[in-house]
Structure 1
Amino acid sequence: MLVNGEQIIEALVETIQMVSLSLLFSVLLGLPLGIFLFVTRKGQILENIPIFTVLNGIINIFRSIPFIILLVAIIPLTRLIVGTSIGTSAAIVPLVFYAGPYIARLVESSLLEIDPGVLEAAKAMGATPLQTIFRFLLPEALSSLVVNITIATIGLIGASAMAGTVGGGGIGDLAITYGYQRFDTVTMVITVLILIIMVQGIQSLGNILSRKIRRR
């Protein structure tokens, strides 16, 4: 049986749901982690080497685990959180554990690009650590953050497709079930084209937003 248009649309909607929800939770996790990594570094406003070392190590551990292994390794936790290990909702859990630490590292990288003069200006004005973060660091790094979040989103699209290998739903599941297992070349081509269009669209949108922010 060949795949039909309704199945493709359903798979696309599932992929969009997976990517958007996992991106939301990943940013909620990764943004504060990345900020905390930066401010606790040596010489920064909340320098705390023991906390930085522990947090840095934990993030490195999660980033070292290939997504397909992480996907399987945390199945018990996924079942505990969403009640199942199969389907779109179940795929969101490992996607967040995969992308959250990655976004944290990207946020840290964006903050490290800021001119030290910005911090000196904040200090000269008597800004508190919170004021320094929200009124100086984040506005200054916003353009770079948009670019890095775009990169993370594209990574999530690829990971969501990989989740299809274990019944995660979405475009990846469609490609495996119909394109690979049933030798349906047309379906494989369609799914690849959809993923390419999604990636190109998100990358273009991210570039446009970053340029507009930089001009301001």
Structure 2
Amino acid sequence: MMSQLFPNVIWSDMVVAMIETFYMTLLALLGTFIFGIMLGLLLYLTSPGGVWQNKIINLIVATIVNVFRAIPFVILILLLFPFTDFLIGTLRGPNAALPALIIGSAPFYARLVEIGLREVDKGVIEAAKSMGAKTSTIIFKVLLKESTPALVSGLTVTAIALIGYTAVAGIIGAGGLGDYAYYYGFQRRSYDVVFMCTILIVIIVFIFQFIGDALTNKLDKR
């Protein structure tokens, strides 16, 4: 039945492409989480009234975040070719897509982190300060702890955007479902391949959305 509906689909190759998409998404999401948290904290802490209030640092970080958010992802991949080649040693395959995926999505997540941190009750922060809490304690025990549901929700949104980025990266040979849909589907006019890749990408999006929503609801104590 499946072979009749999708005559041009090689299922073993499709499974490999799906695994590559998961691989790129999960590793890029980990890197995005780390750098996004760092950038988001810097944006929040160096803003007016922040613990590390500093206009110059805040302006530099905000500029970096805004510039990389403004660059279309497909152009960013091309701009990062020299850096990717130096870092990874190749411009093809799932690993070659990781630098662009992380650099492209970390600034986006950083803004979501900043928004989440701004939602933390300032009274709780002031109470921690009045009790002599160190800056590290305020960051890890107050800010990050209180904003965890928002951070997870933002990470879910970022993960879904990353899945779309992996499909774009596939066009330049990064592997994954985007690569398979373009080279083995579109270029060969095998639209059943394109359709199946689309279905699988939608399923992956639903999986990440379901997990993210479940975690957010579990962590949200309100």
TM over 0.5: yes
Whether the 8 Å contact between 1:14 and 1:169 is mirrored in structure 2 is: yes
Matches within 5 A, 1:81-160: 81-160=87-166
Aligned to 2:9: 3
C-alpha distance in 1, partners of 2:157/2:169?
Answer: 19
How many residues in Structure 1 have an aligned counterpart in Structure 2? 216
Aligned to 1:175: 181
C-alpha distance in 2, partners of 1:4/1:38?
Answer: 49
Aligned to 2:76: 70
Deviation readout 1:133-192 (Å, 9 max, x if unpaired): 001111100001110000111110000011011011000000001221111121111111
**Which amino acid letter does the alignment assign opposite residue 56 of structure 1?**
A
Task: Give the root-mean-square deviation of aligned CA atoms.
Answer: 1.2
**Which amino acid letter does the alignment assign opposite residue 172 of structure 1?**
G
Whether the 8 Å contact between 1:46 and 1:129 is mirrored in structure 2 is: no
SS at match of 1:46: coil
Cα drift, residue 50 of structure 1:
0.8
Cα drift, residue 89 of structure 1:
0.8
Aligned to 2:46: 40
Matches within 5 A, 1:15-54: 15-54=21-60
Whether the 8 Å contact between 1:95 and 1:159 is mirrored in structure 2 is: yes
Matches within 5 A, 1:187-202: 187-202=193-208
- Name the TM-score, length of structure 2 as normaliser: 0.94
Q: Which runs of 5+ in 1 are unaligned?
A: none
Cα drift, residue 30 of structure 1:
1.3
C-alpha distance in 1, partners of 2:134/2:46?
Answer: 15
SS at match of 1:41: coil
Q: Which runs of 5+ in 2 are unaligned?
A: 1-6
Cα drift, residue 44 of structure 1:
1.1
Runs of 4+ in 1 over 4 A off after TM superposition: none
Partner of residue 66 from structure 2, selected from 46, 60, 65: 60
Partner of residue 192 from structure 2, selected from 160, 166, 186: 186
C-alpha distance in 1, partners of 2:220/2:201?
Answer: 28
Q: Which moved more, 1:118-127 or 1:129-138?
A: 118-127
Whether the 8 Å contact between 1:40 and 1:49 is mirrored in structure 2 is: yes
Cα drift, residue 122 of structure 1:
1.3
Question: Is 1:166 aligned with 2:166?
Answer: no
C-alpha distance in 1, partners of 2:30/2:218?
Answer: 22
Cα drift, residue 2 of structure 1:
2.3
